[in-house]
Amino acid sequence: MPDASSMGCFRVLIHGDFTERMTLASEVAARGFYTTRWVVASDKATAVRKALNSARTELNRLPDVGDGRVAVEMEAEEVDGGSWWRWLKGGGRGFAFYIED
């Protein structure tokens, strides 16, 4: 395990697609989403893995995804040095869903 001096804060922008449209609470069918996660990691690859795991854990709480009716494909679109202050405030949660293809 790396020591604390080699750790960094990263901002990871994630884009995801649903294999089937996911029904949101408003009964609108979402095609995909964006989310940003702030994570602490020793390198970019580890930051991406942690961010994707965080997003997947949160998505699995949604009925369509958690029940297995909708599969999710995700990728990190951007990975940058992040703000320690932003990470301390919560690390990012939530999604911006879109309905267009």
Indicate the pTM of the whole model.
0.82
- What φ, ψ does residue 67 adopt, rounded to 5°? -80, -5
Contact indicator for 37, 12 with CB cutoff of 8 Å: yes
Inside any domain, residue 26? no
Inside any domain, residue 17? no
Inside any domain, residue 52? yes
Q: What is the dihedral of CA 28, 96, 52, 44, to 10 degrees?
A: 160
* 69-93 per-position pLDDT tens digit: 888 999 999 999 877 777 777 767 8
Inside any domain, residue 24? no
Number of structural domains the chain divides into: 1
Inside any domain, residue 57? yes
* 10-26 per-position pLDDT tens digit: 999 999 998 877 776 66
Enumerate the β-bridge partners of residue 23. 29
